[in-house]
């Protein structure tokens, strides 16, 4: 498995439920990404991700609940757009300890049980950090399976051409 360390892992956009399909279609058309959709009733949201492209879109489900209240609050205060930057770190717990020693409040551990369509393709561990420039900041330790992130070896590509 591979992970991004000391760099942006991916960006997260927030969308209203009513405009999710239009927003996904626009993002896919512009980037050639193919976002896989996953309805997470436990989180009160739909999550659409192309891990290789580093793009995620989240939309709260229509039923407003205690679980998705923060997403609805964010839409009300900021509208649709950039929600979070997910930043990869080598050791999530060591990073938490370092930031707390500097006086930062770090959120609880969030783990993603492997679910379809990502089952057996990645392991997800994240913690919310203080916001930066109006966007949520999330520190992550995401272990990706070898087939999840596409890389091109420039030397191999040039030799083949």
Q: What is the CATH number of the domain that holds 39?
A: 3.10.180.10
pLDDT for position 48: 95
pLDDT for position 156: 67
**To 10 degrees, the CA torsion angle through 19, 24, 25, 27?**
120
Q: How far apart are CA 18 and CA 10, in angstroms?
A: 24
* Distance from chain centroid for Cα 142: 10
Establish if 86 belongs to a structural domain.
yes
- Give tens-digit pLDDT for 22-49: 999 999 999 999 999 989 888 899 999 9
Question: Which tokens in the block code for residue 148?
Answer: 């999840």
| Spans in the chain with pLDDT lower than 50 | none
Q: How far apart are CA 144 and CA 140, in angstroms?
A: 12
Establish if 62 belongs to a structural domain.
yes
Establish if 2 belongs to a structural domain.
no
pLDDT for position 89: 96
**Into how many domains does the chain fold?**
1
pLDDT for position 123: 84
Establish if 155 belongs to a structural domain.
yes
Beta-bridge mates of residue 145? none
Long-range CB pairs of 103-112, under 8 A, 24+ apart, other chains included = 104/129, 104/130, 105/130, 106/139
Domain with 113, as residue range(s), is: 7-160
Establish if 72 belongs to a structural domain.
yes
pLDDT for position 142: 86
pLDDT for position 119: 66
Give the number of other Cβ atoms within 10 Å of residue 111's Cβ.
Answer: 10
Decide: 23 and 15 in contact? Cβ < 8 Å. Answer: yes
Q: How far apart are CA 107 and CA 117, in angstroms?
A: 26
pLDDT for position 115: 60
**Backbone φ, ψ for residue 35 (5° rounding):** -80, 125
């Amino acid at each position: 498995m591979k992970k991004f360390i000391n760099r942006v892992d991916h960006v997260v956009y927030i969308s209203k439920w009513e405009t999710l399909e239009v927003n996904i279609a626009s993002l896919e058309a512009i980037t050639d990404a193919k976002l896989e959709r996953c309805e997470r009733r436990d989180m009160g949201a739909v999550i659409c991700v192309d891990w290789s492209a580093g793009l995620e879109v989240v939309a709260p489900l229509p039923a407003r609940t205690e679980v998705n209240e923060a997403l609805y609050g964010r839409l009300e205060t900021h509208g649709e757009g950039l929600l979070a930057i997910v930043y990869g770190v080598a050791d999530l717990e060591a990073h938490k300890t370092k930031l707390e020693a500097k006086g930062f409040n770090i959120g609880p551990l969030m783990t993603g049980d492997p679910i379809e369509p990502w089952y057996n393709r990645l392991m997800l561990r994240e913690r919310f950090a203080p916001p930066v420039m109006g966007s949520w900041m999330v520190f992550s330790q995401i272990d990706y399976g070898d087939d999840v992130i596409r890389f091109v070896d420039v030397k191999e590509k040039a030799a083949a051409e």
